[in-house]
Amino acid sequence: MNAKNRRIGFSFAWNGIKEVFLSEFNFRLHTISALFVLLTGFYFRLATLEWAFIILSIGMVLITETMNTAIEKMVDYMKPEIHPTAKVIKDIAAGSVLLATITAGLIGLVIFIPKVIELW
């Protein structure tokens, strides 16, 4: 793959992220929550390993939300009418976002709760 094709591939991928950001309220909500968590991390001067877990958690939520949107759009494209299988596919994809969000939330609690308690 030459440099021009790589640039084109990157711009398609960037378009995908823009599409998810503009069309999905949940993705915007997660992005804003991620910014808030990053600012809180700077405030508490997190250690390197804590930053690594926070960045992984944020990435995991945004990636699953992006994949969920791709699956939703694919189901709507392939089978736009109501169908039990379409429901199961979309519910499972949404479940992956929920699992990622719960995991990220637990990691956030483990990292931030002791720091908030120390403040008191």
Ligand X SMILES: Nc1ncnc2c1ncn2[C@@H]1O[C@H](COP(=O)(O)OP(=O)(O)OP(=O)(O)O)[C@@H](O)[C@H]1O
Residue with smallest beta-carbon separation from ligand X:
87
CA-CA distance, 73 to 68, in Å (whole number)? 9
- Known catalytic residue: 19? no
CA-CA distance, 63 to 119, in Å (whole number)? 33
Q: Among 108, 111, 19, which Cα is nearest to 65's?
A: 19
Residue 18 beta carbon to ligand X: minimum distance, rounded to whole angstroms: 16
Tell me whether residue 30 is annotated as binding. no
CA-CA distance, 16 to 8, in Å (whole number)? 13
Q: Which CB sits closer to ligand X, 19 or 50?
A: 19
Residue 24 beta carbon to ligand X: minimum distance, rounded to whole angstroms: 6
Tell me whether residue 76 is annotated as binding. no
CA-CA distance, 35 to 90, in Å (whole number)? 27
Residue 91 structure tokens: 């519910």
Task: Using CB under 6 A, list all residues that contact ligand X.
Answer: 24, 26, 68, 72, 82-83, 86-87, 90-91, 94
Q: Which residues carry a binding-site annotation for substrate?
A: 65
Q: Which residues carry a binding-site annotation?
A: 24, 65, 72, 81-83, 90-91
